[in-house]
Amino acid sequence: MTSVKMFREESIEDVIDGYSYERIESISKFLLDRTKQRPEIGIICGTGMGGLADMLEDKEIFPYKDIPDFPVSTVPGHSGRLVFGNLNGKSIICMQGRFHVYEGYSVWKCAMPVRVMKLIGVKTLIVTNAAGGLNRNFTVGDIMFIKDHINFPGFGGDNPLRGRNDDRWGPRFPPMSNAYDLGLRQLARTVAKELNLEKYLQEGVYCMLGGPSYETVSEMMALTLLGADAVGMSTAHEVIAARHCGIRVFGMSLITNICVMEHDSEKPLANHEEVMETGNRRRKDLEKLVTGIIMKLDTV
Ligand SMILES: O=P(O)(O)O[C@@H]1C[C@H](O)[C@@H](CO)O1
Ligand SMILES: Nc1nc2[nH]cnc2c(=O)[nH]1
């Protein structure tokens, strides 16, 4: 009896009343009152990819801890700052550090900043992440444009849209086909070609798991059978929240490690230091790619 009551209380307070439209509106107002920037482009930096925020000019930085009602980042490789700034004259808002379910946050809370972005005026979201490569054709350092995702936590009902739906965000049952905008992917391919990055380019399906443990060999094999090309611990919930409120999305994974799919293998397994190191090593190409895409966004 007690556990049922606990579950109900939690879901009413947090999911229904906790981050109401008005509460998220007050977070966005807090920010808009303190910056003249009115960005239509948002970026979420993956592990080790905080350099994407550092490249902005005329930065205005809001540490998460100073934003009322905002969660804080607890993971190495995620600075925990909301950065406003310009990139070749375009106004950008960038999450230099995201929230993960394994940090203890509910999945809707991890996705909540996307709704803040929506109320700030964001129309296009660029999501990046570090991921393990399941596809045997992938190598460390490859950049995978995400064409679709498998939201594994969602299979069990852990979806950021769980709870009462507020139609001001979007419909109760939003479609998720074409979640990763085809036009943006084509644009990104053109930009990558111009930058001579084609040799690193992959396109595929990203699978989100809850983490923080990396996958067992059998889990990796199962994900491969499901059609996943890369596996990580983020992104899907952010994209669902973005699509629900009408933000178009471009997503890319940096393949930071290759998943070893042999039982009893001596090969080194995934570790967070390697993930961050690959992010740092490939940072310049990622920055060039994101800059190139942003410069041409008006064309699609
Ligand atoms: O925030 P992302 O998805 O880029 O971070 C990945 C998943 C874990 O947080 C971490 C594991 O090393 O990298
Ligand atoms: N789940 C998962 N997340 C990652 N993030 C970076 N590499 C990996 C990986 O191999 N597995």
CA of 288 to the centre of ligand 1 (A): 21
Collapse the DSSP code of 8 into the 3-class scheme (helix H, G, I; strand E, B; otherwise coil) and give the result. Answer: helix
Average pLDDT for runs of 10 along the chain of length 300:
38 60 96 97 94 95 95 88 95 97 93 98 98 97 98 94 94 96 97 96 98 96 98 98 98 95 85 90 93 91
Provide Rg for the chain, Cα atoms: 19
Say what the pLDDT of residue 19 is. Answer: 86
Say what the pLDDT of residue 10 is. Answer: 41
- Return the residue whose CA atom lies nearest to atom 6 of ligand 2: 131
Nearest ligand to the CA of 220 is 2
14-299 fold: Rossmann fold (3.40.50)
CA of 171 to the centre of ligand 2 (A): 32
Q: Does residue 253's CB lie within 6 angstroms of at least one atom of ligand 1?
A: no
Say what the pLDDT of residue 47 is. Answer: 92
Return the number of other C-beta atoms located less than 10 Å from residue 299's C-beta: 8
CA of 233 to the centre of ligand 1 (A): 6
- Return the residue whose CA atom lies nearest to atom 1 of ligand 2: 232
Say what the pLDDT of residue 4 is. Answer: 39
CA of 232 to the centre of ligand 1 (A): 6
Give every CB contact of residue 231 below 8 A, 6+ residues apart in sequence: 131, 132, 134, 206, 207, 208, 209, 215, 220, 223, 259
Say what the pLDDT of residue 3 is. Answer: 38
Return the number of other C-beta atoms located less than 10 Å from residue 34's C-beta: 13
Say what the pLDDT of residue 18 is. Answer: 56
CA of 33 to the centre of ligand 1 (A): 32
Q: HSE of 57 in the Cβ direction (CA atoms, 13 Å)?
A: 6
Ligand 2: residues with CB < 6 A are 130-132, 209, 211, 214-215, 231-233, 256-257, 259, 270, 275
Give every CB contact of residue 281 below 8 A, 6+ residues apart in sequence: 141
- Choose which residue among 47, 215, 235, 278 to substitute to test ligand 2 binding: the one with the highest number of ligand atoms within 8 A of its C-beta: 215
Domains of the chain, by residue range, sit at 14-299
Could you tell me if the ipTM is greater than 0.85? yes
CA of 89 to the centre of ligand 1 (A): 30
Global confidence as pTM: 0.94
Q: Does residue 115's CB lie within 6 angstroms of at least one atom of ligand 1?
A: no
